[in-house]
Structure 1
């Protein structure tokens, strides 16, 4: 059974649909004129009964779920009886055959069935009209010729419809494939977003909590070993442990969303870096030479500068065995530069695979920046972070 047309269906399918709608509008007008026209009782009530039966049959099949092939053929049987009866009862009612042509396509299960049943419709109106006018060769010939003309149209409709259905099915398949692709793309975006979020959280945890816990461990070991020999120093280290733990707690609240913003206050990047460097010197005893400009940048840039500084200092403490550290923060015409150098043991840059260095590179790349790492064995390390800025903002 031909389904109701949908957006995107070929014009032919829509034409059949509106042809069918128009036929029922005309049938409705015929019912009204039959009701209010003075006709012989048999003609009047016979016509109304046949039209009512046809309408009830159509409505019943249309409301059936799925694709009720058997119900469609029952309706077509009712249609043939109605065409024969109305052609017999009323002059000119053979026109209903023309109006009903789409129904032979709509309710028939295939091309052959549609052509055969529409042919039976032509026979029905020919027989009915001939019986009404009088059964003779002249009337039979006249009715047959007119019926054959309409039947030719019916056959053409039946022949054109399968190709239109193929186009409809092709478009429906394309729509289904497009919907499936859109769902797959949405799922891929969701998975990508989840992976990026996991990576971001891993980077934040490494740059904040993990570094803080590493500092707490180092300070705790140093404080324990110096409890008897240098209690004042141990007390200072315990204070550093407490402060680091509080900072970790604050960062943890930010990561789980119970704190609204980063701990870095707007406009305080130079002061924040100074405090970070002072803490580093206090905890490690390494002197730090710092030239920190009061640069102008947005909050994401400030956070990136702080995280790069923290990661670089953590690497100095864990790996460099350095005696001095130099830090320069400067505003350049092309952006903000952060340079951190040490005179430690250095390393082979090509062999470095640390999560922290990769995290710094990705964090800077998200802001359009770049990380340059220069080092060699015995010659110390230079970390240069560049972040382009728009000072007009």
Structure 2
């Protein structure tokens, strides 16, 4: 049964609103919940009013459903649990969310995405067997959840490797630096603020040794006022060149990793059980990941200027003819001050 099958139009509207709220909540778990999925949950009491809200906590902490049910307390009995991912059905660091929902006495559960993890799946069937009314969200809601905060985690479950986003800022003619090598700043402050927001949501930022040596970047995530964000991703430099102890990227928080390889596949393996990798390196690093077929998403920040010369955004991407070009599908566009932001994803492909 789907949400659209429910006879009560008012209930449908409330559940759709709750699922949209849960999706927003799940964004706060990005970069926090790894290796667990970033999930959002909302509890509606029997009258349809919001009684509890929650997002997945750091590993060892509560899952989103438990956070929401704890907040709802007795108001959850006879109510509805709305969640972005099917409630888990296994004992890990915490108990099954399906069991917790039953103990809370919820009468109905609505979820968006089925759990593809064979260890954790099955919560919906456990709930149904116990007499709970379980519904899968409508197709558009499922698509929104699968392409939202859960995107990287789902990719990791299905492919066995992290989701890779290549981010770059360039001119209209695809230059990331002028002929004299100058590159700061091609895009405006609005684009830079957006980048820092994205940094807070990923697990790892990767640059190459060349970028490290030329720019000495800190790769930190910063707030609008320039202060360090509370949550920082892991900072990684890929390449055989040693990273000096005085390099800004090392920082002082222990959130640094040197990946002594030029092979993108090996680099991802060295990162361990992470979900989302942001490649911010120069043209050669971008080309290496593209040539290896490891770019799942592109985030492009385009400035309304033309240089006519200078370094291109990508080099040596393994393409010799137009027919072999790397193709992407536009998912999102936005204006950021004078700049244009594009988010594109690669066509679905098998594990690599």
Instruction: Bin the TM-score by the shorter chain.
Output: under 0.3
**TM-score, normalisation: structure 2:** 0.20
**TM-score, normalisation: structure 1:** 0.19
More strand by share: 2
RCO higher in structure (CA 8 A, sep ≥6): 2
Structure whose alpha-carbon radius of gyration is higher: 1
More helix by share: 1
